[in-house]
């Protein structure tokens, strides 16, 4: 397959003087996720062209995972003269198993002797001469033949494949996101990637309460998410068994979950600051569970001075599940697993905790020692 793939972007086009920064990053990400070489890609206003060296199936799968791409089309090319365009248009329509069509033209080369409307009308007439059983339907055609005239070359295509949209990964800063084996946090990572953030993950493990199967499940979820990144996803694993046991032993039961999350923020913050992450991230959504009331979020937020990103904050569960199914993490997330937060969850959790009471409860815990001991268990894996 050597005909160019025409790649479109939309949100990037709204950028001002730094638009080229976004385009360069998008090109770099296309190279990274498709294996294309620099000479395989060219850029023109509003378009990127990729000459692929891999199979059609591979290139489609790869481009569908490049954030910043709004859509793309496998094209056929010819010289920019009406005779060549007419001949190729007739051939392409002949390959379509449809009866109605329309022609749309985009004339980037304004020196071309006919305007877009004239080109579309003339090409449509030539198609009908060759295929009299076809009909033109400008409102609801079965096939749309698109023509883009750019300099010496003209591109024709009938297929428009949606991309994931968003912004190129690497243009929005970086974040360390709390990842569990559940449904929500993988979706949070995906949504931050879509906003151009370079995201890595931290997973809190609690052996023997959570077994190796749980850890393997989280790793597999991270592997799916890594397919959406042009660079490997770093998974940090931290053992927090002693922290959970200390909270259960010495803290008021209704505050257990809030104290657990505050410890997670303490630990994540130390790793993030050491490794130059600019923000933390979670899969929290308002009101979804007891720890996600606005009062309890305020109590956990106060554990760190870092920005905490919550890309799911206004989503309902159905929306989150739909996204998880779309990105490929849902089937893994619903596999049975032992979650440390659930295993140590109180029967009657506080839903409107007060920060003063939470801090009083923490005074009975050796936060610094417990945090440092947990940090000494860190395991890191680069997942591609």
Could you please report the per-residue DSSP string of 77-146?
EEESSHHHHHHHHHHHHHHS--SEEEEEEEE--TTSSS-HHHHHHHHHHHHHHH-TT-EE-SSS-SEEEE
> Measured in whole angstroms, how far is the alpha carbon of residue 102 from the centre of its chain?
34
Which residue, among 182, 112, 126, 193, has the nearest Cα to 154 in the 3D structure? Answer: 112
Say whether pLDDT at 1 is over 60.
Answer: no
CA distances for 346 relative to 223, 247, 252, 383, angstroms: 32, 11, 9, 34
| Average of per-residue pLDDT across 219-241 | 97
Q: For position 370, what pLDDT does the model report?
A: 97
Q: Which of 90-104, 145-159, 236-250, 343-357 has the lowest mean pLDDT?
A: 343-357
C-beta of residue 148 within 8 angstroms of C-beta of residue 134: no
Confidence of residue 339 (pLDDT cuts 50, 70, 90): low
Confidence of residue 342 (pLDDT cuts 50, 70, 90): low
More confident position, 289 or 99: 99
Domains and CATH numbers, the chain: 5-162 (3.30.2130.30), 174-383 (3.40.50.620)
- pTM for the model: 0.93
Here the tokens at position 162 are 């949606």
| Average of per-residue pLDDT across 1-23 | 88
Question: What's the number of CA atoms in the CB half-sphere (13 Å) around residue 90?
Answer: 16
Q: For position 324, what pLDDT does the model report?
A: 98
| Percent of the chain with pLDDT strictly greater than 90 | 88
| Average of per-residue pLDDT across 202-228 | 95
Beta bridge partners of 155: 77, 148
Say whether pLDDT at 296 is over 60.
Answer: yes
Mean pLDDT of the chain: 94
Q: For position 56, what pLDDT does the model report?
A: 86
Say whether pLDDT at 37 is over 70.
Answer: yes
Here the tokens at position 180 are 């569990």
Q: Can you tell me which residue has the tokens 């801090």?
A: 359
Q: Which of 205-209, 233-237, 323-327 has the lowest mean pLDDT?
A: 205-209
**Residues 6+ away with beta carbon under 8 Å from 250:** 364, 365
Confidence of residue 265 (pLDDT cuts 50, 70, 90): very high
Q: Quick one: the chain helix, strand, coil %, rounded to 5?
A: 45, 20, 35
> Measured in whole angstroms, how far is the alpha carbon of residue 99 from the centre of its chain?
37
C-beta of residue 74 within 8 angstroms of C-beta of residue 5: yes
Say whether pLDDT at 162 is over 60.
Answer: yes
């Amino acid at each position: 397959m050597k005909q160019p793939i025409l790649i479109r972007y939309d949100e990037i086009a709204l950028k001002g003087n730094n638009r080229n920064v976004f385009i360069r990053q998008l090109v770099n990400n296309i190279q990274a996720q498709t294996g294309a070489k620099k000479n395989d890609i060219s850029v023109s206003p509003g378009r990127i062209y990729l000459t692929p060296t891999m199979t059609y199936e591979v290139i489609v799968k790869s481009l569908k995972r490049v954030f910043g791409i709004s859509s793309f089309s496998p094209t056929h090319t010819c010289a920019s003269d009406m005779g060549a365009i007419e001949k190729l248009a007739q051939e392409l329509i002949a390959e379509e198993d449809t009866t109605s069509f329309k022609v749309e033209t985009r004339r980037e080369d304004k020196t071309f002797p006919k305007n877009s409307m004239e080109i579309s009308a003339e090409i449509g007439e030539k198609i009908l001469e060759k295929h009299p059983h076809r009909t033109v339907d400008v409102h609801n055609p079965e096939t749309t033949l698109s023509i883009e005239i750019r300099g010496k070359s003209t591109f024709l295509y009938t297929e428009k494949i949606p991309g994931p949209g968003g912004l190129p990964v690497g243009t929005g800063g970086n974040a360390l996101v709390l990842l569990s084996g559940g449904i929500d946090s993988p979706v949070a990572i995906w949504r931050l990637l879509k906003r151009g953030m370079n995201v890595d993950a931290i997973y809190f493990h609690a052996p023997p309460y959570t077994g190796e199967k749980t850890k393997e499940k989280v790793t597999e979820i991270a592997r799916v998410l890594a397919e959406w990144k042009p660079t490997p996803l770093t998974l940090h694993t931290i053992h927090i068994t002693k922290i959970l046991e200390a909270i259960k032993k010495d803290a008021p039961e209704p505050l257990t979950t809030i104290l657990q999350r505050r410890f997670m923020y303490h630990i994540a913050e130390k790793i993030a600051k050491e490794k130059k992450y600019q923000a933390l991230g979670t899969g929290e959504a308002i009101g979804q569970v007891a720890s996600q009331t606005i009062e309890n979020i305020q109590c956990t937020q106060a554990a760190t001075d870092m920005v905490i990103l919550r890309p799911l904050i206004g989503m309902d569960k159905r929306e989150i599940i739909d996204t998880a199914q779309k990105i490929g993490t849902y089937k893994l997330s619903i596999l049975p697993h032992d979650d440390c937060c659930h295993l140590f969850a109180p029967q009657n959790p506080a839903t409107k905790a007060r920060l003063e009471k939470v801090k009083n409860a923490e005074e009975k815990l050796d936060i610094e020692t417990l945090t440092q001991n947990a940090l000494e268990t860190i395991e890191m894996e680069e997942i591609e």
